[in-house]
A and B are shown apart, each in its own frame.
Chain A
Amino acid sequence: MKKRGFFQALNVVDRCRELHVSLLQCPHFLFVLMGAVISIAIITTHVVASYYAEPETVVSIIFIVTVFLLVVGNAVVHAFEKVAEASQLKSEFVAIISHELRNPLSSIKWQLDAIFEKAEVSADEYKNSLKIVNHSNEKMISLINDLLDVNRIEDRKFQLTLEIFSLVDITNELTKLYEPIAAASNLKFMILTPKSQAWVKADKTRIKSVVSRFIDNAIRYSTSSGEITITMEDADSYVRWTITDQGAGIPVEEVKSIFSKFFRASNILRYQTEGLGVGLYLSKFIIEASGGTVGFRTLEGHGSTFYFTLPKSKA
């Protein structure tokens, strides 16, 4: 923390700006506000008492001032509570991030461990181990990228790099990548493509991450076997991408918060799967920033359908 002069220290607005919190969540401001309210109340009481002679009037005015003090005091306490909650959320968040980073790290550690322990390792075993190490590494990279994206959104520094590409191509590419994972759960992809290549102008890397997340979620929340259907439709001005699973669906009470940031944070025990809980939040932001829309339909016990649209482009 920077050292500051006495007068600089008095500038609470700058202090709060440095802390990146709103005034009503900034302890420095709340403290000054509370002090100001108490001082005004004391002065008012003094002025009132010396101005009015009748005790009844003085008492009623002091009563009103006290009520006012209580109301403001309550609001300040409430704001402090919000500060405490934010700090609590941050510790929970750190716990989740460490968990999510430690998983791939343990995987790498044990994989190397197993290789070092063995007297002889075949070329196939080496290759297999490196594959797992590579996969863990990719997981950590995408985790960090997601975190940085969340941060960029909060700092309003999120930028898209636009290019023209085919949604059909990236979908085929990604489903190929996910096929073995889906097969492990007896799941099959069914892909319905339009006659066109579904050309769009958007940020290719980020749209790929959106599509990956939707596929990943569909696999994760699917029951042990069945089909995952991906449909692409080419409309007049936009392309619509839809994925339907036959999985667990989303409980009614959770439908509202599904696109919110760190959705999983408070539900970690409930969802019992990996991830930071920022995937859908990021996806929604990316799609909307690209001029598209995103949404879903779900029926608990019968699966979910997620879709997004993107403005169409000529090849």
Chain B
Amino acid sequence: MAKKVLIIEDDTALAENLSNTIKAGGMEVFVCHDGEAGFRQAEDKKPDLILLDLVLPKKHGFKVMEDLQKNPELKSIPVIVLTNLESPHDIEKASSFGIKAYLVKANYTLAEILKKIKEVLEG
């Protein structure tokens, strides 16, 4: 069965780029444009991996991770943070949630992101 990836990204163009790339990589993709919808979708679809932006409308990425941690069914879903924030404070805080990777959007190509997703999924 194809692996399920949930993208939580408010920029629609970026979300579409990611979605197309990951679909082409043979995975099933769900896209949400705000933190609240993203969390609900995570509860609903139980994805194999979440690609999470940090600065999101309605619920910040940190809060999404906090809520994921609180739910025993969701806390083991691997999360890759994909953001353009890069302060040591943000990286440290994100890492405290046990994320699989912290990627700065501007520094990665779509192919590199896909590679990282596959690495995480193959464990």
Contacts and interface: CB of A to CB of B under 8 A. Distances in A.
Interface of A: 95, 98-99, 102-103, 105-107, 109-111, 113-114, 117, 132, 135-136, 268-269, 272-274
Interface string B73-103: 0000000000011110000000000000000
Contact of A114 (B56, B62, B104, B110): B110
B84 A107 contact: no
Contacts of A98: 84, 86
B29 to A, nearest CB: 15
Given A107-B11, A272-B55, A114 B105 contact: no
Given A99-B55, A103-B11, A269-B62, A110 B84 contact: no
7 contacts: A95-B85, A102-B84, A106-B14, A111-B13, A114-B20, A272-B57, A273-B55
Contacts of B2: none
Nearest to A94: B87
A77 to B, nearest CB: 26
A107 B57 contact: no
B116 interface: no
Q: What bracket does the count of chain B residues touching chain A fall in?
A: 20 to 34
Contacts of B56: 272
A302 B53 CA distance: 28
Interface in B1-60: 11, 13-14, 17-18, 20-21, 35, 55-60
Given A113-B110, A117-B110, A132 B55 contact: no
A4 B105 CA distance: 44
The 7 closest A-B pairs by CB, nearest first: A102-B84, A106-B105, A110-B17, A102-B106, A106-B106, A132-B13, A113-B110
Contacts of B58: 272
A34 to B, nearest CB: 33
Interface of B: 11, 13-14, 17-18, 20-21, 35, 55-60, 62, 84-87, 104-106, 109-111
Given A106-B105, A135-B13, A272-B35, 9 more contacts: A98-B86, A99-B55, A106-B106, A109-B106, A111-B17, A113-B17, A117-B21, A272-B55, A272-B58
Nearest to B20: A114
A253 to B, nearest CB: 19
B105 A102 contact: yes
Contacts of B55: 99, 268, 272-274
A113 B14 CA distance: 11
Contacts of B104: 102
Among B13, B18, B56, B57, the most chain A Cβ lie within 10 Å of the Cβ of B13
B90 to A, nearest CB: 9
Contacts of A274: 55
B84 A114 contact: no
Given A103-B11, A110-B14, A272-B56, A117 B84 contact: no
